[in-house]
Amino acid sequence: MLNYNKTLTESLKNWTFSEEKFDPLLLGKCESIMSLGNGYMGLRSATDEPYIGETRNLFVNGTFNKFDENEVTELPNAADVTRLDLFVDGKRFSLEQGSTQDYSRVLDLRHAELVRSFVWESPEGKQIRYTFRRFVSLDQVHVIGMKLEVTPLNGEIDFTVRSGINAQLSNTGSQHFHEGEKRIFDKKYLQLLQTTTESKVDFVMHASHQFKLQGQAVELMPKMDIDRRKIAMEYSCKIASGETLVMEKISTVHTSRDKAFEGQGLAVMREAALEQLKQADAQGYDALFEQHKQAWSKVWEQYAIDVETEQPFDLLAIRFAIYHLVVMTPAHDNRMGIGAKGLSGEGYKGHSFWDTEIFILPFYIYTRPEIARSLLEFRYLGLEGARRKAKENGYEGAMYPWEAAWPTDGEVTPVWGAVDIVTGLQTKIWSGFIEQHITSDIAYAVWHYYKATGDQDFMDRYGYEMLFDTATFWASRLEWDESASRYHINEVIGPDEYKEHIDNNAFTNYMAHFNMELAIQYYEELKATRPELLTSLEEKLGLAAAYGVWTDKIGQIYLPAPNENNIVPQDDTYLTLETIDLTKYKKQKKVGSLFLDYSLDQVCKLQVSKQADIMMLFFLLENKFSPEVKRANYNYYEPKTLHDSSLSLSTHSILAGDFGDIDLAYDLFRRATEIDLGPNMHSSDAGIHSASIGGIWECIVMGFAGVRMLDGHLHLNPKLPKSWTGFKFPLYWQGARLEVHVTRDTLNIVTVSEQELELIIHGSTIKFHKELNVQF
Ligand code: IFM
């Protein structure tokens, strides 16, 4: 059970949530949603003492490895530093034995610290207060801090802690590391060096411990242990009743992917890493934590979003979202993307999907454009793999991988998935072959970023090339249908993954058309204004011929139009498929319940959708469809959409808001916030849902504030959920930071920028300088 109202201090009101009861059968949820990190690395919040069923994960962004030829590359699970084996009077401490009172595990989002505390009574009747603290430094990104406080309450105890660096881990069985080298320096500093088996990324991990008894430093002589894939220390001491023993453990993680060590060799990294550990150890938990707190306070200033509401959960939810966005994003390195589960679990192997460009990038475009640029540069570096994928499939240009890892890896989607309940065989995952809309999603994101920021340098270096080469892919992908005299895109999966091998998915066709439209527009613009840049791109990409092909084909691409009932067919057959009563599945407690009754093959033959598809098209290409068409389609498709993907609810919420159905928009927003943070204790076992977390921000800023970039203009269309009296958020537009405050009848925007700004509010164009006040 989670508690959303735990208030440690007044300043932490709506900044924390907690687990109030330990349940060894529900470990995954808090491990994921309370995970810590700093974009460089992510640490799943497994409890310190071990339990069966736990998943201990430490991921360092970008360190992908392939276990063997038949597997795809994934983020390797690095050695663990969090496990502590604790013994009281010679017996192992475990919450599964004895009894526990005052239990709480709290994630403090404001300071990014995890605190677990309780009083435990051993089966022998010894009562002990335990407090465990942990953070992954945002200030020194290689550092992990842990602190344990142990106070016996009714008699002296013999206390032992075994702690170290444990590499006896895998990714659900796949072992990504060679055995490596282990060493203990000065009976204090533990060092483990390991290299990934295929990508040959070196990991250097360190740990050290220090103790205080009643506030005074004590030297405890350790028993040292080095074994297979493991290096550990065992410390023992007596603690008198009422006295407190404090153990601090400082660990560091470095890898040869770190830009700072590029080309420097392992010896240099090893020495620098050991030196950083020694310095961090000398600073100690409290000083390191203080610096980390300062770094987080800058984060909260930067993203200063606020919801004035009677529903404190809403405020907590947006803070939770921003916390996880910061923790998962490799803002420091443009060779890295964002995983579909961030860095919080093994789900989706650390791979990046369209989740980034469509659900997360808008957050960065409008709050930290430089991070949005870095994420797009990751896709630019991915052109090599995308061109390879196009060639391998018999196409031209750049065909982006459905799942991406290291930029040059190309397609990394696994081929086999869950069981088919009819045949008992593993289901084939087709998305790596035929879910192709990712290519135009990336092109769309380039355009969105450019229009919102005006970053011409990005376009000159990367953006035009991405738009042109993706358009070339689509031009080569189109299939001429002689009988209909038009181009089709057959045999795809659209956003709705419950329809495989379909022809003319509307989303895919419209987005491919849009991608080519952008390429033609920018080609012509460059030809007229920047011929020298165009010449150099022409030489690199063979554009002269490509432009002719784009313009020849674009007018003949089949764009499914609304039928007599205003319904845009999701694909060539969707509207002809059987409909079934979906009530039971719409009310499901756990997503995917449909598969208890049907196989994927059967589901493909029903009018049932996994996630927003046509609705996503309306959201992205808003101007191309009338309000009547959008409404009619919403009414048609929403009852058939099970929201079995976490990418669905936020889009439906935004659309419902656009139609003026604020109650429904709010209801869908609430459901979106509950995907990870809600009370379902199994929803996040494999990791948090990054896209849904980006979607929470989108619901507020693009939904309730109605922020949209349309034809290069910034629109705001504010509307307030009933339970809110106002909300505030920062918004970057063309390099200027705007502070936006919406109340029920006013809109206030202030900026320190000197430029005159133009916005479209509820359809009216308004120019302002420094401050704008609008009464509704
Ligand atoms: O990208 C999504 C997809 O749309 C639905 N399945 C999960 C993927 C990763 O989140």
Distance between Cα 352 and ligand 1 center (Å): 10
So what's the pLDDT on residue 39? 98
Distance between Cα 402 and ligand 1 center (Å): 10
Q: Within a 10 A sphere around the Cβ of 181, how many other Cβ atoms?
A: 14
pLDDT at 385 over 80: yes
Distance between Cα 138 and ligand 1 center (Å): 29
Atom of ligand 1 nearest to the CA of 691: 10
Banded pLDDT at 10 (limits 50, 70, 90): confident
Banded pLDDT at 34 (limits 50, 70, 90): very high
So what's the pLDDT on residue 9? 85
688 in Cβ contact with 343 (< 8 Å): no
Distance between Cα 348 and ligand 1 center (Å): 9
- Choose the residue to mutate in 647, 648, 651 for probing ligand 1, maximizing ligand atoms within 8 Å of C-beta: 647
Distance between Cα 445 and ligand 1 center (Å): 17
- Rounded CA gap, 343 and 59, in Å? 6
Distance between Cα 630 and ligand 1 center (Å): 24
What's the rounded mean pLDDT across residues 128-149?
Answer: 98
Q: b/e string for 445-466 if b means 16 or more Cβ within 10 A?
A: bbbbbbbbbebeebbeebbbbb
Its pTM stands at 0.97
- What would the DSSP string read from start to end of 155-172? S-EEEEEEEEEE----BT
In a domain, 503, yes or no: no
Question: Positive or negative CA dihedral for 703, 706, 709, 711?
Answer: positive
Q: Please compute, for residue 254, the number of CA atoms within 13 A of its CA located in the half-sphere on the CB side.
A: 25
**Count: domains in the chain:** 1
Banded pLDDT at 408 (limits 50, 70, 90): very high
So what's the pLDDT on residue 6? 79
E-strand spans in 180-220? 181-185, 189-195, 202-213, 216-218
Average pLDDT, the chain: 97
In this structure, which amino acid lies at residue 462?
Y
Q: Where are the alpha helices (DSSP H) in 309-426?
A: 312-328, 354, 361-367, 369-381, 383-392
Atom of ligand 1 nearest to the CA of 690: 10
127 in Cβ contact with 120 (< 8 Å): yes
In a domain, 644, yes or no: no
- Rounded CA gap, 412 and 352, in Å? 10
Atom of ligand 1 nearest to the CA of 348: 9
In a domain, 668, yes or no: no
What's the rounded mean pLDDT across residues 730-746?
Answer: 97
pLDDT at 161 over 90: yes
CA 646 remoteness from chain centre: 12
Distance between Cα 253 and ligand 1 center (Å): 30
pLDDT at 539 over 80: yes
- Choose the residue to mutate in 349, 355, 648, 688 for probing ligand 1, maximizing ligand atoms within 8 Å of C-beta: 355
- Rounded CA gap, 409 and 64, in Å? 10
Which residues have C-beta within 8 Å of that of residue 667, sequence separation ≥ 6? none
Strand partners, 724: 309
Summarised one tens digit per residue, pLDDT across range 275-289 is 999 999 999 999 999
454 in Cβ contact with 734 (< 8 Å): yes
- Rounded CA gap, 161 and 146, in Å? 13
What's the rounded mean pLDDT across residues 251-267?
Answer: 96
Question: Positive or negative CA dihedral for 313, 318, 324, 326?
Answer: negative
So what's the pLDDT on residue 8? 73
Atom of ligand 1 nearest to the CA of 353: 1
Task: Give the closest residue to 567 by CA, choosing from 641, 633, 494, 611.
Answer: 633
Q: Looking at beta carbons, which pairs linking 731-738 to residues 24 or more positions away fall under 8 Å?
A: 731/366, 731/367, 731/701, 731/707, 732/365, 732/366, 732/367, 732/368, 732/369, 732/452, 732/453, 733/366, 733/452, 733/757, 734/452, 734/453, 734/454, 735/369, 735/453, 735/454
489 in Cβ contact with 509 (< 8 Å): yes
CA 404 remoteness from chain centre: 14
- Rounded CA gap, 252 and 206, in Å? 5
Atom 10 of ligand 1: nearest residue by CA position = 340
Q: Within a 10 A sphere around the Cβ of 297, how many other Cβ atoms?
A: 12
**Ligand 1 near 355 CB (within 6 A):** yes
So what's the pLDDT on residue 11? 87
- What would the DSSP string read from start to end of 583-618? HHHHT-SSTTGGGGT--HHHHTTBS-BSS-SHHHHH
**Ligand 1 near 167 CB (within 6 A):** no
Atom 4 of ligand 1: nearest residue by CA position = 495
Summarised one tens digit per residue, pLDDT across range 669-718 is 999 999 999 999 899 999 999 999 999 999 999 999 999 999 899 999 99
**Ligand 1 near 538 CB (within 6 A):** no
CA 477 remoteness from chain centre: 30
What's the rounded mean pLDDT across residues 305-316?
Answer: 94
Summarised one tens digit per residue, pLDDT across range 756-765 is 999 999 999 9
Q: Which residue has the tokens 């999701």?
A: 570
Which residues have C-beta within 8 Å of that of residue 646, sequence separation ≥ 6? 675, 689, 691, 692, 695
Active site residues: 497
Assigned token pair, 119: 């009083």
**Ligand 1 near 371 CB (within 6 A):** no
Distance between Cα 379 and ligand 1 center (Å): 18
38 in Cβ contact with 111 (< 8 Å): no
**Ligand 1 near 163 CB (within 6 A):** no
Which residues have C-beta within 8 Å of that of residue 514, sequence separation ≥ 6? 440, 443, 444, 621
In a domain, 218, yes or no: yes
- Rounded CA gap, 667 and 289, in Å? 38
**Ligand 1 near 700 CB (within 6 A):** no
Q: What distance separates the 2 farthest-apart alpha carbons in the chain?
A: 89
CATH of the domain at 46: 2.70.98.40
DSSP conformation class of 685: T
**Ligand 1 near 691 CB (within 6 A):** yes
Q: b/e string for 206-237 if b means 16 or more Cβ within 10 A?
A: bbbbbbebeeeeeebebeeeeeebbbbbbbeb
**Ligand 1 near 207 CB (within 6 A):** no
Assigned token pair, 242: 């009422």
**Ligand 1 near 33 CB (within 6 A):** no
Q: Which residue has the tokens 């589901």?
A: 603
- Rounded CA gap, 696 and 703, in Å? 10
**Ligand 1 near 435 CB (within 6 A):** no
pLDDT-above-70 percentage for the chain: 100
In this structure, which amino acid lies at residue 116?
R
Question: What length does the chain have?
Answer: 776
Kindly list the distances between the CA atom of residue 569 and the CA atoms of 148, 505, 558, 566, 613, in Å, as whole numbers in the listed order.
Answer: 59, 8, 12, 9, 11
So what's the pLDDT on residue 339? 98
Distance between Cα 159 and ligand 1 center (Å): 47
**Ligand 1 near 507 CB (within 6 A):** no
**Ligand 1 near 354 CB (within 6 A):** yes
Q: Where are the alpha helices (DSSP H) in 35-123?
A: none
Distance between Cα 537 and ligand 1 center (Å): 33
**Ligand 1 near 497 CB (within 6 A):** yes
Kindly list the distances between the CA atom of residue 171 and the CA atoms of 200, 345, 405, in Å, as whole numbers in the listed order.
Answer: 17, 10, 16
Atom of ligand 1 nearest to the CA of 645: 5
**Residue 89 belongs to what domain range?**
2-268
What's the rounded mean pLDDT across residues 729-734?
Answer: 98
Assigned token pair, 308: 């004035």
Atom 6 of ligand 1: nearest residue by CA position = 645
**Ligand 1 near 340 CB (within 6 A):** yes
E-strand spans in 383-442? 416-419, 426-428
**Ligand 1 near 645 CB (within 6 A):** yes
- Choose the residue to mutate in 644, 645, 649, 692 for probing ligand 1, maximizing ligand atoms within 8 Å of C-beta: 645
User: What is the phi/psi pair of residue 714, to 5°?
Assistant: -90, 120
User: What is the phi/psi pair of residue 695, to 5°?
Assistant: -65, -30
In a domain, 722, yes or no: no
Summarised one tens digit per residue, pLDDT across range 611-670 is 999 999 999 999 999 999 999 999 999 999 999 999 999 999 999 999 999 999 999 999
Kindly list the distances between the CA atom of residue 257 and the CA atoms of 199, 328, 765, in Å, as whole numbers in the listed order.
Answer: 10, 17, 48
Atom 5 of ligand 1: nearest residue by CA position = 645
In this structure, which amino acid lies at residue 531?
P
So what's the pLDDT on residue 310? 87
Helices 690-698 and 662-677 sit at what angle, rounded to 10 degrees?
Answer: 150
340 in Cβ contact with 347 (< 8 Å): yes
Distance between Cα 647 and ligand 1 center (Å): 7
Banded pLDDT at 122 (limits 50, 70, 90): very high
So what's the pLDDT on residue 83? 98
SS (H, E, C) 122-145: CCCCCEEEEEEEEEECCCCCCEEE
What's the rounded mean pLDDT across residues 23-52?
Answer: 98
